[in-house]
Structure 1
Amino acid sequence: MNFKRYILLLVIIGVLFAIYNYYQISKFHINKVKLNSNKLINPLRITQITDFHSNENINLKKLFSDIKGFNPDIIVITGDLIDYKTRDLTMAFKILEQAKKITDRVYFVSGNHETNHVLEDEFYNGLAQYEVTVLDDISTEVRLNENEISILGASFFAEKDDFEGIYKDISEKGYNILLSHSPNRPIMYINEKLDLILSGHTHGGQVRLPIIGGIIAPGQGFFPKYDKGLFKFGNTTLYIDSGLGNSVYPIRMFNRVQISNIEILPR
């Protein structure tokens, strides 16, 4: 009799965990981030999408309805839009299409899952078709609402020489944003002229514990220091978004899938 009760209890726990986990991996959260800068004349709004990993559980219609409500000046996609297992690019291209309907200023840097993917050529052809600006180891200048903005991008395997090339023409006066899928290398090769680094890759540890934070992150091992949220390096702010998808296993705990709406206000 006791054995049957234990089995029933385990079944109930399993069902409750499955329901909880489905909520964590499908019902996206929008993280609102507010920053300040004395380099801006008018507010700058950025939506960051990262680590989608072809997550079929995401309601894209609701996602872009919510993004449209924020009315971002810029949308940045910081890598791993697809997963190494992805064999159908439909959802990835849907994201590109919907993002371009909201703003012409959509920027992309590659993640480890795009790099050497079997559909890599088709994927990058799609980026070109939707006129998404790819910033792998290059930069671009944007004048927006009287603000001078430099957007720089680092490819996933960028080395020291690549970062030196990226930083070569960095603006002295403008607001400087670096897009990098992983936070690990920008931390190693940080430039004091950078104002903001936007990254993903860590999934926030994917499974988090209260107070302790993320359990594991690629390139940082167990209990990573830079797992999710805001970090300061002198005048530079690093922001790590935990992403819309999952890697290896579709499991999340205390860490719902998310995008970020970032508003930078004149100081």
Structure 2
Amino acid sequence: MEEEKVKKSLIAGSIGLGALAGAAGAAAFYSAFIEPYWFDVKKIDIKLPRLPEAFEKFHIVHISDFHLGFHFKARHIAKMADKIQGLNPDMIVFTGDLVNSHRSLKTVVKSLPYLNKIKAPFGKFAILGNHDYLESIDTISELLRKSGFELLMNENRMIKKENDELYLAGLDDYLRGEADIEKALNGIPLDRFTLLLAHEPDYFKVSSKFPVDLQLSGHSHGGQVRMPLFGPIITSKMGRKYHSGLYETENKFLYTNRGMGTTHLPFRFFCRPEITSITLK
């Protein structure tokens, strides 16, 4: 009788371990081969007190962190481009990390036709990220321009619509470049609405002290691996406090995009690649 109970207990234990191993294997497969390429088009409205009237419902598509060459290829850029064009944006912004390392250039060159495919009437703008500095900045800058993006390095542009205007400023990378917000905002009247592109989201602690209405960032990847009720398992330097989504402090706003690619490890779990469709209101 006792032997029978022991046998049943061993069988139950084996089944339990088998089920656990199966679940772990399925989760690993999903996080490596499915979720990293299951793009999330996240649509959000951001209400901004100083937004000029002509820019009501102005539509920005925000993308970030391709990390091309590290499990993110030209075919994935082609898929992303199709989704973006289907959104009909007024403007497209890219907040850095075109490449993952110096071995990424072949993948970028193959991706150029697809990046050129995405268009917007008010332009395409980009900044550099920390990984872009692992390659020649002159090379990365030229590749971004060949992709149809205007690169902003501590500088700004006026965007005019009807009788109103807003300013778009782009910051050099904080961790590896020479970020200079005063230079980036130079010449912008204090009473004008200003949108800032800054790769690292935690730079919001600095930019919120300046006349910047909305900061758009990437860098954090949302942590890549997130657990329900807990959030990201690991966060990156300058991407720890504001790791994903919308934040607000005293009528200053930040949106952190989870990025398209991956880095270090090619996994995503409860943290899908993100194309952000932002409507200003």
Scaled by the length of structure 1, the TM-score of the pair is: 0.86
Q: State whether residues 154 and 166 of structure 1, in contact with CA within 8 Å, keep that contact through their aligned partners in structure 2.
A: yes
CA distance in 2: counterparts of 1:58 and 1:254, whole angstroms: 23
Partner residue, 2:138? 121
1:172 aligns with one of 186, 190, 196: 190
CA distance in 2: counterparts of 1:16 and 1:204, whole angstroms: 22
Partner residue, 2:127? 109
Partner residue, 2:51? 39
Deviation at 1:87, TM superposition (A): 3.7
- 1:1-267 alignment, distance < 5 Å: 8-9=18-19, 12-21=22-31, 22-37=33-48, 38-41=50-53, 42-54=56-68, 55-56=72-73, 59-84=76-101, 85-88=103-106, 89-99=108-118, 101-103=119-121, 105-117=123-135, 120-157=137-174, 162-219=180-237, 224-265=240-281
CA distance in 2: counterparts of 1:128 and 1:7, whole angstroms: 54
Q: State whether residues 155 and 185 of structure 2, in contact with CA within 8 Å, keep that contact through their aligned partners in structure 1.
A: no
Counterparts in 2 of 1:178 and 1:51: CA distance versus 1, 3 Å: same
Deviation at 1:215, TM superposition (A): 2.1
Q: State whether residues 122 and 159 of structure 2, in contact with CA within 8 Å, keep that contact through their aligned partners in structure 1.
A: no
SS of the aligned residue for 2:130 comes to coil
Partner residue, 2:3? none
SS of the aligned residue for 1:86 comes to helix
Q: State whether residues 47 and 76 of structure 1, in contact with CA within 8 Å, keep that contact through their aligned partners in structure 2.
A: yes
Deviation at 1:5, TM superposition (A): 5.1
More divergent stretch after superposition (102-111 vs 70-79): 102-111
CA distance in 1: counterparts of 2:74 and 2:20, whole angstroms: 26
Q: State whether residues 50 and 241 of structure 1, in contact with CA within 8 Å, keep that contact through their aligned partners in structure 2.
A: yes
Partner residue, 2:6? none
CA distance in 1: counterparts of 2:205 and 2:275, whole angstroms: 22
CA distance in 2: counterparts of 1:67 and 1:138, whole angstroms: 26
Q: Percent identity at matched positions? A: 28
Give 1:112's aligned amino acid.
Answer: N
Where is the strand percentage greater, Structure 1 or Structure 2?
1
Give 2:40's aligned amino acid.
Answer: H
Query: Residue deviations 1:50-96, cap 9 Å, x none?
Result: 01111139643442232222211110000012111414123542453
CA distance in 2: counterparts of 1:105 and 1:263, whole angstroms: 16
CA distance in 2: counterparts of 1:65 and 1:196, whole angstroms: 27
Where is the helix percentage greater, Structure 1 or Structure 2?
2
Root-mean-square deviation (CA, aligned residues, Å) is 2.6
Give 1:143's aligned amino acid.
Answer: K
Q: State whether residues 26 and 57 of structure 1, in contact with CA within 8 Å, keep that contact through their aligned partners in structure 2.
A: no
Deviation at 1:232, TM superposition (A): 1.1
More divergent stretch after superposition (242-251 vs 143-152): 143-152
Q: State whether residues 97 and 130 of structure 2, in contact with CA within 8 Å, keep that contact through their aligned partners in structure 1.
A: yes
Q: State whether residues 139 and 152 of structure 1, in contact with CA within 8 Å, keep that contact through their aligned partners in structure 2.
A: yes
Give 2:51's aligned amino acid.
Answer: K
CA distance in 1: counterparts of 2:163 and 2:82, whole angstroms: 27
> What is the count of residue pairs matched by the alignment?
260
